[in-house]
């Protein structure tokens, strides 16, 4: 019962956050370039992109710490672009947690409620709930400096959700944790999101984290949005070369021409020949069109040298990258360049030593075709 108590009051359908052509310039440098984004109520959205792409700046504009150069931010139907941060009712967890070092765990969590001048009894009730929810029982009187990283993380989350914010902002909250704790906190984060139903905007530059946690991912680069999509769609159908190579590993083939002959669709690479599609691709394919194909390493299969067949090319093994459950093998293919293939186990290290020639079969059923300009 206590767990369902902190439920977002308005979990009906509709948009919680509307970001309309928001822009932030730092002098002549662009922090965020004309970003438009609609986030639905209760959605878990991740801002993903390389360092310096404007994620924190965008988050800061939603929280009110950064004033946009242009554009508008609407939360729950109200334009908050010019509203002071303390009137916004938006919860935030900072990368450094920013817990108050001069207060204990209880007072840190109670801070937002006290600022709202709630009666003491209600403050105690809500704090106790948040403490139970974040499994912080027994730590109430502890100084925040005496907590482990994971516990501090929980206090920061409890402090942000206890005020029942309209939106929860998380700026790389897991980046300071070690790998095991990070995995555990990922699980707790999605559990928290499920329990509270809070509209959440999560910032990370870790694509694995983004893929496993999000309803939708917003990929950013140099201040601009590259693609907004659900994790599976993002992985399968990246909108451009940047997204394709930022999300997971991918092989970029050189530009080629689409051809359709006798009902067979193929990609003709100059100097290599035609690569055949098992079925005509749904998107990006048009006879005569110049395209670049992107192919995941798991769709490139090593075959014995000399084994002929459709879509088989031969190259020279350059390196093996053993990763436990699987091995990534780098092969240099003439006319194509570096191609990576991923196979389970480590047998390939012995069967195709560095310098040996290796055949590669391309499975184009999952290939992504993009404009040569992208």
Partner 1 sequence: MIQKRPFFITFLAPAVLTAVILAAAIFEVLQYSVREFVPGSLNVGGLTLENFARINRPIYWWVLADTFFISLLTAVFSLLASYPVAYALVRAKKDWVRSALVSLSITPLFTGEIVRTFSWMLTLGTDGFINSMLRKLGLIDMPIQLMYTRFGVVVALVQFSMPVMIILLATAIAHVDRDCERAAANLGASPSAVFWRVTLPLTLPGILSGIVVVFAWTMSAFSTPQLIGGGKILMISNLAYLQGFSVLNLPFAATLSLIALVCALGSLALMKTITGRIERRLAVN
Ligand X SMILES: Nc1ncnc2c1ncn2[C@@H]1O[C@H](COP(=O)(O)OP(=O)(O)OP(=O)(O)O)[C@@H](O)[C@H]1O
**Chain positions contacting partner 1, by CB under 8 A:** 63-65, 84-92, 94, 96, 98-102, 111-112, 115-116, 143, 145, 159-160, 163
Task: Give the binding-site size for ligand X (rule: CB under 6 A).
Answer: 12
What is the footprint of ligand X within residues 327-346 (CB under 6 A)?
A: none
- Confirm or reject binding of residue 106 to ligand X (CB under 6 A): no
Query: What is the four-CA torsion angle of 193, 197, 199, 200, rounded to 10 degrees?
Result: 0
Of the candidates 122, 59, 50, the one whose C-alpha atom is nearest the C-alpha of residue 91 is 59
DSSP letter, residue 90: E
Range in contact with ligand X (rule: CB under 6 A) among 53-61, 210-218, 321-329, 361-369: 53-61
- Rounded to whole angstroms, the Cα distance separating 161 from 13 reads 21
To which H or E segment does residue 111 belong? Answer: helix 105-115
Query: Considering the complex, what minimum distance in angstroms separates the CB of residue 92 from partner 1?
Result: 5
Closer by beta carbon to ligand X, 48 or else 348: 48
Q: How many CB atoms lie within 10 A of CB 68?
A: 23
Q: Compare residues 118 and 346 and give the one whose CB is closer to partner 1.
A: 118
Which among 50-58, 227-235, 262-270, 323-331 is the span making contact with Mg ion, rule CB under 5 A? 50-58
Find the shortest distance in angstroms from Cβ 29 to ligand X. 6
Integer Cα distance of 84 and 22 in angstroms: 17
Degrees to nearest 5, angle at CA 195 with 194 and 201: 55
- Which residue number, 76 or 206, has a Cβ lying nearer to ligand X? 206
Sole binder of Mg ion in the list 41, 56, 153, 200 (CB under 5 A): 56
Contacts of residue 1, defined as CB under 8 A and 6 or more positions apart, other chains included, come to: none
Please identify the residue of the shown chain whose CB is closest to the bound Mg ion. 56
Sign of torsion over alpha carbons 67, 73, 76, 77: positive
Using the rule CB under 6 A, give the single segment among 6-14, 47-55, 228-236, 267-275 that binds ligand X.
Answer: 47-55
Tell me the three state secondary structure of residue 64.
Answer: coil
Q: Which residues bind Mg ion (CB under 5 A)?
A: 56
What residues line the site for ligand X (CB under 6 A)?
26, 29, 31, 49, 51-57, 205
């Amino acid at each position: 019962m206590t767990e369902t108590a902190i439920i977002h009051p308005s979990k009906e359908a509709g948009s919680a956050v509307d970001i309309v052509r928001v822009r932030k310039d730092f002098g002549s440098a662009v922090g965020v370039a004309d970003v438009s984004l609609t986030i639905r109520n209760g959605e878990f959205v991740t801002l993903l992109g390389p360092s310096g792409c404007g994620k924190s700046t965008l988050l800061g504009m939603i929280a009110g710490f950064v004033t946009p150069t242009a554009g508008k931010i609407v939360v729950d139907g109200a334009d908050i672009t010019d509203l002071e941060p303390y009137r916004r009712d938006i919860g935030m967890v900072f990368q450094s947690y920013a817990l108050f070092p001069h207060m204990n765990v209880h007072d840190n969590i109670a801070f937002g409620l006290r600022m709202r001048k709630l009666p003491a009894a209600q403050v105690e009730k809500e704090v106790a709930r948040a403490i139970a929810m974040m499994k912080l029982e027994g730590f109430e009187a502890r100084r925040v400096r005496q907590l482990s990283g994971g516990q501090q993380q929980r206090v920061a989350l409890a402090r942000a959700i206890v005020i029942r914010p309209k939106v929860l902002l998380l700026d790389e909250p897991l980046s300071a944790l070690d790998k095991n704790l990070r995995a555990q906190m990922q699980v707790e984060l999605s559990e928290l999101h499920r329990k509270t139903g809070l509209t959440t905007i999560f910032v990370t530059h870790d694509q694995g984290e983004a893929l496993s946690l999000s309803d939708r991912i917003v990929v950013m680069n140099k201040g601009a949005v590259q693609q907004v999509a659900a994790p599976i769609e993002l992985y399968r159908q990246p909108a451009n070369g940047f997204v394709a190579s930022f999300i997971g590993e991918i092989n970029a083939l050189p530009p080629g021409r689409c051809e359709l002959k006798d009902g067979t669709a193929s990609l003709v690479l100059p100097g290599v020949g035609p690569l055949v599609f098992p079925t005509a691709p749904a998107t990006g394919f048009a006879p005569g069109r110049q395209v670049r194909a992107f192919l995941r390493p798991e769709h490139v299969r090593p075959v014995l040298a000399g084994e002929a067949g459709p879509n088989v090319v031969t190259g020279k093994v350059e390196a093996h990258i053993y990763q436990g459950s699987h091995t990534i093998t780098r092969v240099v293919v003439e006319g194509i360049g570096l191609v990576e293939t991923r196979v389970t186990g480590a047998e390939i290290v012995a069967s195709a030593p560095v310098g040996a020639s290796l055949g590669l079969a391309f499975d184009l059923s999952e290939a992504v075709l993009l404009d040569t300009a992208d």
